[in-house]
Amino acid sequence: MNADLSACAAFGNTPPWDQIDWSKCEGEVRRLQARIVKATREGRHGKVKALQWTLTHSFYGKALAVRRVTENQGKRTPGVDGAIWQTPGVKYKAIGSLRRRGYKPSPLRRVHIPKANGKLRPLGIPTMKDRAMQALYLLALEPIAETTADSRSYGFRPARSTADAIGQCHLILSRGISPVWVLEGDIRGCFDNISHEWMLRHVPSDKKVLRCWLKAGYMENRTLFPTEAGTPQGGIISPTLANLTLDGLEPLFRAKFPKTVTPSPKVNLVRYADDFIITGTSKELLEKEVRPLVEQFLHERGLELSPEKTCVTHIDQGFDFLGQHVCRRNGKLLIQPSRKNTRALLEKVREVIRQNRGLSQECLIRMLNPILRGWANYHRHVSASDMFRKVDNHLWQSLWRWANRRHSEKSRPWVLRKYWHRMGRKWKFAALTEKRGPDGEVVWLKLVNPVETKIHRYRRIKGEANPFDPDWRPYFEDRAFFKKFGGHRSQTRRNPL
């Protein structure tokens, strides 16, 4: 009898994996994380270590770690051992395999993925067991990282996104007294060059396990290579380690450039992972005082600024940040989708249409809709209406060429009536599906039109908000309600209609 069948026999017909009370697991882990937050704020480092030990050795933490790596997007991507955890019996058995004693991680499987500039980014893929161990220790490390994090850091953190970073940019640059000079910063090979010695001295995690991960090496073309620096891109815990490495820059600026000084230097930091901007009142301030301070801060961590991507820009000239173009026109701040980001979308759409010339209209729409919907939703919090109309125009031209190529012998009105249908006052690129509505009516599959995406201002998260702190739980519940229904819970209770 194999492992799956024996496990099922012990628990009747239901596998033990399916009998786990996930609500209880989440509650127990959340309770320990809240205690870690409290102990961190009180400076009780011994208590923090004890609570981390309890969490990483608990059944609840191990179960949640296994569930995370077996239900995310990479659940079918194996490491160097080729193993994946798919069946309930294997998943339940994996919980017991997550032990610190005798743990030795396997080398990473190195692959390369293309970057926007045409270069290749190395990506390290751990084994399923190593991913689960990282997810387990991340449960104990993330509450500390969130408690000590810079308030204006938004990358790879729970409950934060690029929209929060762009919202902060709007806040510090949109007023009449706002600074007009911006230092655009980018760290060269951040994940690949972080000093191992610095992380082992400063990262508040199990040093033995952390050292094992950092020194595991990677396999490429059946050859083992050592890792002397950096944290691998692709590991679950890697973004948090990078954030912990870069945290501390904001308090450094507050101490060096206090806002109480007159005139104020107006030095503000907005960071998303290894991309950041720093504002200032003058170009000389950013070049001669701020930049050397950043370079010294990074040098201690084994990092350096990228010379080709780091520059000082006037707000009237504008700059690109996280796919948006931020500039000031006629004294008013304007944030729009960047040309580079929009060009990449149109190239991707044209490539999909070009490679699927013989595909049916319904299949083509199903391929294009996720791309268009994702891009439009990403930019719906900025002044994107003009760019939405331009994308819609380019999309119409590409689809018109696609339709005419399929029916070169037909007239243009015939092609228009076959692929575009009048719905209300507008013509829609739509196809009939085999589905029927509740009343038996036909169901149309329509192409997503970015112009129809509503623009609304994003509600920026409070800098000190901590999702692991029970005191902040009502705030995050209200925030989730606002994102879903567009209002506050208290307002909805007063006016249910």
Q: How far apart are CA 278 and CA 168, in angstroms?
A: 12
Give the pair of three-digit tokens for residue 212: 């094992």
**pLDDT for the residue numbered 304:** 95
Q: Are strands 426-436 and 420-423 parallel, antiparallel or unpaired?
A: antiparallel
Q: What are phi and psi of 443, to 5 degrees?
A: -115, 125
**Cα separation, 433 vs 371, whole angstroms:** 20
Angle at 71 between CA 142 and CA 146, to 5 degrees: 10
Q: Are the C-beta atoms of residues 467 and 160 closer than 8 Å to each other?
A: no
- Cβ atoms within 10 Å of 486's Cβ, excluding its own: 9
Measured between alpha carbons, how far is 421 from 242 in angstroms, rounded to an integer?
A: 51
User: How many other C-beta atoms can be found within 10 angstroms of the C-beta atom of residue 144?
Assistant: 24
Token digits for 432? 């009939």
- Dihedral (Cα; 318, 274, 337, 163), 10-degree rounding: -110
Q: What tokens were used for 64?
A: 């949640």
Q: How many C-beta atoms surround the C-beta of residue 195 within 10 A?
A: 18
Q: Distance between CA 199 and CA 205 in Å, rounded?
A: 10
Residue among 478, 480, 497 at smallest CA distance from 488 = 478
Structure tokens at 491: 């307002």
User: CA-CA-CA-CA torsion for 172, 321, 286, 164, nearest 10 degrees?
Assistant: 40
pLDDT per residue, tens digit, the chain (497 aa), is 344 444 444 445 677 999 999 999 999 999 999 999 999 999 999 999 999 999 999 999 999 999 999 998 888 999 999 999 999 999 999 999 999 999 999 999 988 888 766 677 778 899 999 999 999 999 999 999 999 999 999 999 999 999 999 999 999 999 989 999 999 999 998 888 999 999 999 999 999 999 999 999 988 888 888 888 888 777 899 999 999 999 999 999 999 999 888 889 999 999 999 999 999 999 999 999 999 999 999 999 999 999 888 999 999 999 999 999 999 998 899 999 999 999 999 999 999 999 988 899 999 999 999 999 999 999 999 999 999 999 999 999 999 999 999 999 999 999 999 999 998 888 999 998 877 767 767 788 999 999 999 998 898 999 999 999 999 999 999 998 887 776 555 544 444 33
Closest CA to 376 of 432, 431, 456: 456
Cis peptide before 292 (omega within 30 of 0): no
Tell me how far apart the 2 most distant CA atoms of the chain are, in Å: 79
Sign, CA dihedral 128-130-131-133, equals positive
Placement of tokens 């000590």 in the chain: 148
Contacts of residue 59, Cβ cutoff 8 Å, sequence gap at least 6: 25, 95
Sequence-distant contacts of 280-288: CB under 8 A, at least 24 apart:
280/179, 280/181, 280/182, 280/183, 281/179, 281/180, 281/181, 282/181, 283/181, 283/312, 283/314, 285/181, 286/181, 286/182, 286/183, 286/312, 287/183, 287/312
pLDDT of residue 495: 40
Residue among 391, 378, 488 at smallest CA distance from 447: 391
* CB neighbours of residue 213 within 10 Å: 23
| pTM: predicted TM-score of the whole model, two decimal places | 0.89
Q: CB under 8 Å to 278, separation ≥6 — which residues? A: 182, 183, 185, 253, 267, 268, 269, 286, 290, 294
Closest CA to 321 of 336, 343, 304: 336
CA–CA dist 315, 328 (Å, integer) = 6
Contact assessment for residue 133 and residue 209, using Cβ atoms and an 8 Å cutoff: yes
C-alpha 456, offset from chain centre: 21
For the chain, the first-to-last Cα distance in angstroms comes to 59
